Amino acid sequence: MTRAFNFCAGPAALPTTVLERAQQEMADWHGKGLSIMEMSHRSKEFVSVAEKAEQDLRDLMQIPGNYKVLFMQGGASSQFAMIPMNLLRGKSKADYINTGQWSKKAIAEAKRYCDVNIAATAEGSGFCSAPAQNELNLSADAAYVHYCPNETIGGVKFDYIPETGDVPLVADFSSSILSEEVDVSKFGMIYAGAQKNIGPAGLCVVIIREDLLGEAIDGTPTMFSYKVAADNASMYNTPPSYSWYLAGLVFEWLKEQGGVAAMAEINQRKAKKLYDYIDGSGFYANPVAKNNRSIMNVPFTLKDDALDKTFLAESEAAGLLNLAGHRSVGGMRASIYNAVPEAGVDALIEFMAEFAEKNS
């Protein structure tokens, strides 16, 4: 079997060695005679898998002891509602920074529960940049400040962590978690859908400071309470156990690669190669401000968009999959997450060069 290079934005590429190990353990996990997906989530075997996954994530991200790590269902989209439900804590306002599609969705959901102050927006740049710190109009009475450090669709990345004073900073790290080091202590809460850099869809990781637990608004469903999740070790109900297990395998793989710092070096190198080629090609273009270019999601356009369908057909035939841009913006997008090897980026650049030469 030959593995293609998968540039999908999510569900995204998983490390081949992780898939192979999961395949080996599929029918018989560690000699138990059953698959881990058939196992009780309360068994000592699965609890050991869950606890190791959490500890490995804590090690990788150097998560302080006063933060809870939750493994939840519903993806990042459920968090859009759960955040105001849990973090308003008697206040009626929250600040949001709008840098694209996922910011917009978070804002729309938050408006169901509180007054939303748009602290800054990148609409004026066509969502091709991120607002600077001095452009943020933050509210002194906000319950929290929410932003998306890396917008998957537009390929826009903040090049700084917003300073919010005593107001908790909440961040949607779905498409950039574990891609480079981050100081968790600067955040009240970090959350990330798993299907980009952690594992398969169906799981969302929440990292939340303990002092933010326990003040959910009246009427919050039990399943939507972070405190309930924390008090029950993410097992108030049956969790997405197989996704949790696979996430644990990915965390082990990341440790074997040298951890987040080592992955960041590789990711920077992959992104630089691709951006340097695009910028120098004369055939392709990237619209994002250079200081805000994502190292995970690289959108690009062709000189003539009439060639888009041909590009996609030929790239797929060459084993380069899922390069179509998001339906809301068109063009192309290469998502080069941790599990996309450098050889995949090299193969993509080689294909792009050949395609440009044929069609110039």
Known catalytic residues are 102, 172, 196
Closest CA relative to residue 190, chosen from 216, 224, 161, 222: 161
Q: For 222-245, b where at least 16 C-beta lie within 10 A, e where not — what string?
A: eebbbbbbbeebbbeeebbbbbbb
Q: Are 318 and 185 in contact (CB under 8 A)?
A: no
Q: In what order do the strands lie in the sheet with 145-147?
A: 67-72, 204-209, 189-193, 169-172, 145-147, 93-98, 115-121
**N-to-C CA span, the chain:** 35
Quote the tokens at residue 142: 């906000």
Quote the tokens at residue 281: 């090609």
SS3 for 208?
A: strand
Cα 237 versus chain centre, distance: 24
| CA pair distance 124, 126, nearest whole angstrom | 6
Q: Are 174 and 192 in contact (CB under 8 A)?
A: yes
Give the phi and the psi of residue 320 in degrees, each rounded to 5: -115, 105
| CA pair distance 211, 232, nearest whole angstrom | 17
The pairing of strands 204-209 and 5-6 is unpaired
Give the phi and the psi of residue 293 in degrees, each rounded to 5: -75, 130
Closest CA relative to residue 255, chosen from 9, 6, 8, 15: 15
Q: What is the full DSSP assignment across 130-158?
A: ---GGG----TT-S-EEE-SEETTTTEE-
Q: For 342-360, b where at least 16 C-beta lie within 10 A, e where not — what string?
A: eebbebbbebbeebbeeee
